[in-house]
Structure 1
Amino acid sequence: MIKNIACIALVGLVMSSCVSSKVYKDLESKYANLKRENRKLEDEYGELKKAGQADKLAMDQLHDQYEKTRAERDELQRNYDAAVANYNNLKQSYDALEKNSSAAIAANSKKNRELLRQLEDKERTLAQERNRLDTLQRDLDARSKRVDELEGLIAAKDAKMQALKTAISNALRNFEGKGLTVEERNGKVYISMENKLLFESGSWAVGTQGRKAVKQLGEVLAQNTDIAVLIEGHTDNVPYTGNAQLSGNWDLSTKRATAIVNILLENGQIDAQNLTAAGRGEFAPVASNDTSDGKGKNRRIEVILTPKLDEITKLLNDI
């Protein structure tokens, strides 16, 4: 194409020297048109070349996709053929088993039903056992809670009795070493007062120092209204013969215990329902009656303070 244009231009140059000006101009105009057409054709050629390259790329991609799809089809075909072959084998095996197992199935049907019944029975038993265990667990939780409450109450009672023992010891400090002792054992407070602090020999009338000690004890008891108070009278083993109105050591020990109760009740804040008087005679000695010192220890009043255990007893009954 370019060569043609060059020839035409050359011819135009040659002829321009021998043709008229008008002819020259016509040729020049045609040359310009041809030149524009040539550029247009070159542009179209470039676009067509690009389009051809794009088409070639798309064709290559399509070819790759075609080969991939073809390979997948072949793989699927192989898998299908294998599945068909496996199916045929399984069908043949199944047909053979079905033919041979009808009798066995019939024979096992009854056994299977029995096993199913047993399984259902076991499931019902398991459900019942689970319900029983759930009930036991709830009961155990409730009992554990009550045990915790009981331990808390016991600890509180022990702490209160220890505090009560301390309060009584402080209140009666002036009488310790004079035949009075205070101790705490097994959750109870024991106040022991020998007769030399309280009574003359053979008498149940409380002396001045003894009355003072009992009144100070009463002040502490008045602040602890939930304490049971047992007053026990004790004697040595020497038979009592001082008063014909008394039958012996039993009566004397009871009279002395009652005398202490009466002094305590002079404190209006003490509830009489919390008090108990008891005579033990010579039958609960704390020392040997073979010595004067031992007999002196046995002649005594014991005030035993016990926490009321109504709440604890209720919890124990609930456990």
Structure 2
Amino acid sequence: IQIEPSTGVLRLPEDAITFESGSANLREKYKKRLFTLGRALSSELKCYEPSGVANSSCLEINPMGYTLDAVFIEGHTDNKPFGGDTTGRLNLALSTERANTIYSELKKTNAELFSFKNPKGQQLFSLSGYGEERPLEGHKHEVPTSDEANRRIEIRFVMATPELSEQEFDSLKKKIEAVNEF
């Protein structure tokens, strides 16, 4: 697993979990790895939802009491045209189906993850697909290439933003109004 703290992305590289070219099916060995990942996420993420922040056992994991707004399971593909489609639409659909495969498998084996809520009471987990549009650094290809590194899943953690105080909001409003006077 690779983690990019600045972007909130946990990357599952191709040697951890990958898909065959043109497929959203998950092999059995990857299901076992996903189950282990789901258990780890369950134990950690409970400390980033509103009901868990106040839990004394979460103080070590999340001492600042931050909460999550969303957790996106993101699917990606290589840039090889899928089904002969050169528009990228089928790769986009395939990447979304890959994210849905991971989402469904996590839900089946780690249902607790899908009980976690954000501060608005909304479910944390969702999914998105990017097709071939976000290749890994060093894996962008000008010609269609079956690059396993780009057939990946990423999990993006989006933190909830703190609410503005009434004073902060009034100050921001005055600044915007001043700009509008020009």
TM-score bracket, normalised by the shorter chain, equals 0.5 to 0.7
Q: Is the 8 A contact 1:198 1:211 kept in 2?
A: no
Aligned to 1:302: 154
Does 2:34 correspond to 1:214?
yes
Aligned to 1:271: 114
Q: Is the 8 A contact 1:195 1:299 kept in 2?
A: no
Percentage of matched positions with identical amino acids: 33
The CA deviation at 1:238 is 1.0
The CA deviation at 1:187 is 6.2
Aligned to 1:127: none
Structure 2 gap segments, 5+ residues each: 50-67, 116-122, 169-182
Change in 2 beyond 3 A, CA 1:187/1:237 = closer
The CA deviation at 1:191 is 2.3
Aligned to 2:141: 289
State the SS of the aligned residue for 1:271: helix
Aligned to 2:23: 203
Q: Is the 8 A contact 1:195 1:301 kept in 2?
A: no
Change in 2 beyond 3 A, CA 1:240/1:265 = same
Q: Is the 8 A contact 2:76 2:95 kept in 1?
A: yes
The CA deviation string for residues 62-90 of structure 1, in whole angstroms up to 9 with x for no partner, is xxxxxxxxxxxxxxxxxxxxxxxxxxxxx
Q: How does 1:1-319 map to 2 (within 5 A)?
A: 181-186=1-6, 188-194=8-14, 197-223=17-43, 224-225=45-46, 226=49, 227=68, 228-241=70-83, 248-266=90-108, 267-271=110-114, 273-286=123-136, 287-290=139-142, 295-309=147-161, 312=162, 314-315=163-164, 319=168
Report the structure number with the largest CA radius of gyration.
1
The CA deviation string for residues 5-45 of structure 1, in whole angstroms up to 9 with x for no partner, is xxxxxxxxxxxxxxxxxxxxxxxxxxxxxxxxxxxxxxxxx
Change in 2 beyond 3 A, CA 1:241/1:317 = farther
Structure 1 gap segments, 5+ residues each: 1-180
How many positions carry a matched residue from both structures? 133
Aligned-partner Cα distance in 2 for 1:237–1:216: 30
Q: Is the 8 A contact 2:26 2:101 kept in 1?
A: yes
- Structure scoring higher RCO (CA < 8 A, sep ≥ 6) equals 2
Structure 1 stretches of 4+ with a deviation exceeding 4 A read: 290-294
Q: Is the 8 A contact 1:198 1:209 kept in 2?
A: no
- The alignment's C-alpha RMSD in Å is 2.9
State the SS of the aligned residue for 1:297: helix
Q: Is the 8 A contact 1:195 1:300 kept in 2?
A: no
Q: Is the 8 A contact 1:233 1:254 kept in 2?
A: yes
State the SS of the aligned residue for 2:12: strand
State the SS of the aligned residue for 1:201: coil
Name the TM-score, length of structure 2 as normaliser: 0.62
The CA deviation at 1:282 is 0.7
Aligned to 1:23: none
Q: Is the 8 A contact 2:21 2:146 kept in 1?
A: no
Aligned-partner Cα distance in 2 for 1:189–1:237: 21
Change in 2 beyond 3 A, CA 1:190/1:317 = farther
